[in-house]
Amino acid sequence: MTERRSQSEVGRLESEMLYVREVLHRISNEYTNAISFAHRIAANSSSQEAKAAAEKITRHLYALADAHRALSPPPGDELTDLTENLSRLCRAMTSAWLIPGGITLQLAVPGPIYLRSKSCWRACLIVSELIRNASIHASFSDQGRIAVSIDVALGRVTCRVSDDGSPALTYVPGVGTRLVDALASELQGSVDRQFGETGAKVVLSFPLDPIMLDEQPGPRRQTPSRPVCEA
């Protein structure tokens, strides 16, 4: 009976993932249509100023589409490298959202951290939401900075997202907070939030699958924090 329930739960989750992929596929098609529309405006305009504006919009739409693709759910559940996926996501988010807002993103990652694809996807969704929250809700006095770091120790993965902005006067959990907490629960992990006058820090921690422990490389020094993408 337990096995049948487990198989039923797996089937339900796979159906939900299928719905998510279908919705994201339709959104991707809308991005393609919007980019084509902007291209036509630029091609048909006789004004150089209008052409330049349309081309700028096109570049921004391309960046948004790249960020969107970086968050697409995986079709399978094979092994994948969290640091590689997170690096790709951070580059896409920097181009799409952070550079236009004058915010830099610093990323520090170690060597490969292997996870099942679906766990990696959930972790990347959480980090993307934390980056977006920091860019929207933190008040930066000058050029803002968001830092992301990741490491693995004692069988746990730890992702830290911090910013140097001033937080809102009161912290009111919203949809994004509930999403992050729900995804962390699916990873059997936890999220710790700290807010102060010099910025905020959110830490995601979750255990490695016992099977994954043998797949990890030996201890490696974490690479220095560096800008993901220059403006």
pLDDT confidence band for 139 (50 / 70 / 90) = low
Mean pLDDT in residue range 195-219: 75
Give the per-residue SS3 of 114-166: EEEHHHHHHHHHHHHHHHHHHHHHCECCCCEEEEEEEEEECCEEEEEEEECCE
Look up residue 184 and give its two tokens: 């962390």
User: What is the reported pTM?
Assistant: 0.76
Selected residue with higher pLDDT from 26 and 177? 177
Residues 150-168: tens digit of each pLDDT: 999 989 999 999 988 766 5
Q: Does domain 79-231 have CATH number 3.30.565.10?
A: yes
Question: Phi, psi (5° rounding) for residue 137?
Answer: -95, -25
Look up residue 169 and give its two tokens: 């006067």
- In total, the chain counts a number of residues equal to 231
Q: How far apart are CA 135 and CA 60, in angstroms?
A: 17
Contact 110, 220 (CB under 8 A): yes
Residues 62-86: tens digit of each pLDDT: 888 888 888 888 888 889 999 999 9
